[in-house]
Amino acid sequence: MSATDHLVIFDTTLRDGEQSPGATMNKAEKLRIAKALERLRVDVIEAGFAIASQGDFDAVKSIAESITGSTVCSLARALDKDIDRAAEAIRPAERGRIHTFIATSPIHMKHKLQMQPDEVVEQAVRAVKRARSHVDDVEFSCEDAGRSELDFLCRIIEAAIDAGARTINIPDTVGYAIPEQFGETIRQLLNRIPNADKAIFSVHCHNDLGLAVANSLAAVSQGARQVECTINGLGERAGNAALEEIVMAVRTRQDLFHIDTRIEAQHIVPASRLVSTITGFPVQPNKAIVGANAFAHESGIHQDGVLKHRETYEIMRAQDVGWHTNSLVLGKHSGRNAFRTRLLELGIQFETETELNEAFTRFKALADLKHEIFDEDLQAIASDTRQKEEDGRYGLVCMQVCSETGVVPRANLTLTVDGKEHKVEAEGSGPVDATFQAIESLVDSGCNLQLYSVNNITSGTDAQGEVTVRLERGGRIVNGVGADTDIIIASAKAYIEALNLISKGGIRQHPQVADV
């Protein structure tokens, strides 16, 4: 195995994470997350799947143009058109990588690819060579390696390395593996493949059985030196291995792993919150590392122990991963320059002065309602501003909602549709239901409401509420997010954003689709 003095962290939040139903991000949002990943010192950022859509291509290219501290990668199937498109997208990057893959399990080769093993090897070699004609840094993945035959894995990986792949990824694509077995697979591959020393071996584990992190760590213990993961474990189905858990497990248990990452862990919690805000996927309170309860102690015995000596019940310091570092940053008397400076420190940069001015106006309005403005509030302001600046069919002008004991709640709204104002009203079982009924009385979207979720952005009764609304229509799922100190207004914003997203139409081509 090629020498590496650290465990390479390959973040795929912007690619595999975006495949979570409803988690689609626009170019500006992807760039914000990429900047956060760069601050974390992530080694490789998989910015997207360039051929999936023009939007994906533009996002990958924009990230390649902007990121200097991390390698920028694009996914590509083992097809010439995919590889060439990926190469074009990452061309501006200081360090670019093409990540090409093909399925290697019997079930995938037979039913999806409809190819014989010899054909799969031939196509893999051709793809790696074509990718190497564009860049020196090529990664090859054996899709569904977790259910692939070991002898065939050895054969195709040896051929891929000979063709020029410098990173070999072993994905547990469907989350089928068990840690002991998966670690043994990595050990055998490293021992049996003659040219294994010429590549870094990587793993990409899914969480269908709740074992993504455990499988990844088992692989690291057997010699894998790259882990593919996502912020908050975001990803298809049950998600991927969580970056924060991988990083802190390896760092906390140096007695077992004898290797560390380059991640600057104090940026983990801010990155987690940014991804949660943008995608509309709240972090569960008991989530390891980044959950609100991760360093909270309710039990009297635990509280007593921590007060006497922190390490009795805490194996990490909360400050080391970014907790308690986001103290008050701005208030109602803060000026425009201080506002802009803090946004830049958070990796938030507006493309135009108009957007900045709009955000500053929103900040001042919020500061009149809240005495303390935290980084999370600024993230929400930035997201809300960008949503308003983007073209959308629907908009909220104003609203009035009446909710009184013994009286049926009623909502009166003024909405814009294609720039024209309309007044609507409706009753509902509650103020939120009345608001949604009023909106639907005008737009008649035909959508199914799949999720309605409310979370506080910061603590306190004056905190902004962040509402996530998930809508489905014709098999397409979108998440709308809205924030406001008034939960009902936040709900209306979220519902309208979801309607705007679903009205744009278009479905991204899935990276696993193989039209070979």
Inter-residue contact 53 to 89 (CB < 8 Å): no
Angle among Cα 182, 186, 190 to the nearest 5 degrees reads 165
Label the pairing between strands 96-103 and 138-143.
parallel
Q: How far apart are CA 284 and CA 317, in angstroms?
A: 20
Three-state SS at 278: helix
Query: 172 labelled as ligand-binding?
Result: no
Angstrom distance (rounded) from CA 288 to CA 232: 9
Q: Count the Cβ atoms, other than its own, within 10 Å of residue 487.
A: 18
Closest to 224 (Cα-Cα) out of 180, 174, 170: 170
Contact call for residues 107 and 85 (beta carbons, < 8 A): no
Cα separation of 13 and 18, whole Å? 6
Cα 420 to chain centroid distance, Å, stands at: 35
Beta strand segments in 116-239, E:
138-143, 167-172, 200-205, 226-229
Tokens standing for residue 376: 């999370």
Work out the widest C-alpha separation in the chain, in whole angstroms: 77
- DSSP-derived 3-state class of residue 23: coil
Q: Distance of CA 338 to CAs 331, 335, 381, 426, Å? A: 10, 5, 15, 43
* Exposure of 73 in the CB half-sphere (CA atoms within 13 A): 28
d(CA 37, CA 34): 5
Q: Which two tokens stand for residue 383?
A: 């997201």
| Residue 16 among known ligand-binding residues | yes
Whether 204 has a binding-site annotation, put simply, is yes
**Residues whose CB is less than 8 angstroms from the CB of residue 265 and which lie 6 or more positions away in sequence, other chains included:** 247, 248, 251, 320, 321, 322
Residue 191 is labelled as binding a ligand: no
Q: Beta strands 476-484 and 465-473: pairing type?
A: antiparallel
User: Residues forming the annotated binding site for Mn(2+)?
Assistant: 16, 204, 206, 240
Indicate the annotated binding residues: 16, 204, 206, 240
